[in-house]
Amino acid sequence: MFGYNFLHNHEKTEEILIEAGHLEDGHVIVDKADWLEAQKMLRESRTIEQPTVDFDRYQAEVEGTLVAGEDCDTLEYSVMGLNEESGEVAGHWKKMMRDDSGEMTPERKALLIKELGDVMWYMSRTCQKLGVPMKDVAQINIEKLTKRAAEGKLHGSGDER
């Protein structure tokens, strides 16, 4: 058994743990298996109460937002847009260094976030044109980075390290 200091502002967690009989004087008292189950229940309840955007949902919701003509609905157009929007992210960073004395202002951060959204849009279009879901690209990247970390090869260059 172990205790975990409980923050009372997490009402749903408190409700779950009280129902399971694992909350005493603001401390969670459970064995590891019960704790992991409570965490799983909390994640599931958060998903219901506060839905998050996953890659599948994102791709589905932005699918109908292409406003250019059919000649712009190509892989090449999507790749060029991805490059352009990535450049805009870099441009805002450059302007932060030049105009904001290297300080990340709330306004600059908001601009960067908007541009990152545009990068995501073009990434989504590029993935769609390649016939691969964004979630698969993310999973492949996780696996690549995990393997590199395990092999001590995060530094360096080249895709096949």
- Stronger pLDDT, 16 or 58, i.e. the higher one: 58
Distance CA 161, CA 151 (A): 9
Taking phi first (over 0 means left), then psi (-120 to 50 degrees means alpha), and beta for anything else, what does residue 149 get?
alpha
Distance CA 18, CA 24 (A): 8
pLDDT digits (tens, 9 = 90+) for 73-82: 899 999 999 9
Q: Which two tokens stand for residue 102?
A: 């290297």
The residue count of the chain comes to: 161
Distance CA 83, CA 119 (A): 8
Q: What is the pLDDT of residue 4?
A: 37
Give me the domains of the chain, ranges plus CATH numbers.
Answer: 2-49 (no CATH), 55-150 (1.10.287.1080)
pTM of the model: 0.64
Given a cut of 80, is residue 50 above it in pLDDT? no
Mean pLDDT across the chain, nearest whole number?
80
Q: What is the pLDDT of residue 8?
A: 37
Q: What is the pLDDT of residue 9?
A: 37
* Mean pLDDT calculated for residue range 108-130: 95
**pLDDT over 70 percentage in the chain:** 68
